Structure 1
Amino acid sequence: MSFDPATLTFNEAGLIPAIAQDHATGEVLMLAWMNAESVARTLATGRVTYWSRSRQAFWAKGETSGHVQELVGLHVDCDRDTLLLKVRQTGPACHTGARSCFFTKVEEGEEVVTA
């Protein structure tokens, strides 16, 4: 059965959350948004392309930073409303320079920065 991005469940803005995970380690790197066209572009090129809500434009991860995400696998959750992207990450995934955007941990009610 061939995959059609139009079969995904997008929100009212036409977007779907996409979780990027390191394919080798399982580390969750970031969460961003995609629309049907960015999903199609990602599948066609093998380079992950998101939709920037602030710029209202496509955003190929790494196009300015060089911190590219190469698609290894795309998974659709059971409700078809969230994507899991298994990626090969070059450099940090977070715009702060951290490997992952999830570097703040809450322990006993306190925030602890782990990166």
Structure 2
Amino acid sequence: MLLSGFNTVLSILSLAMLVLAVVALIFAALARKDAYPAAEKKTKTFWVAILAAVVAVNLLIPMLFLQIAGLVATIVFMVDVRPAVRAVSGGGRRGGSSSDGPYGPYNGGR
């Protein structure tokens, strides 16, 4: 009974790692190719290949050690590379202050 619960927890963790790797792969594939060198990161091809390998390992070779290594690569991409690439390519904010509305600033033009 205890082993069955442990296997259930491992299955849920494996699924979560797979979903995170797929999301990271999609983000890596959709980013502009020139944004990676501009952010002083490895190339787009490198990150797409690494994350595709992580997804393949999670699907085909469900060994916990390999999945954890893939999780580390995925976390590095999501925490370090993706924000840098988004900042270089102008993702996120469209510019301006946080108090700007659709027709100008809400703070009286200061």
* TM-score normalised by length of structure 2: 0.26
* TM-score normalised by length of structure 1: 0.25
Structure with more helix by fraction: 2
Structure with more strand by fraction: 1
Rg bigger for which structure?
2
Of structures 1 and 2, the one scoring higher in RCO (CA 8 A, sep 6+) is: 2
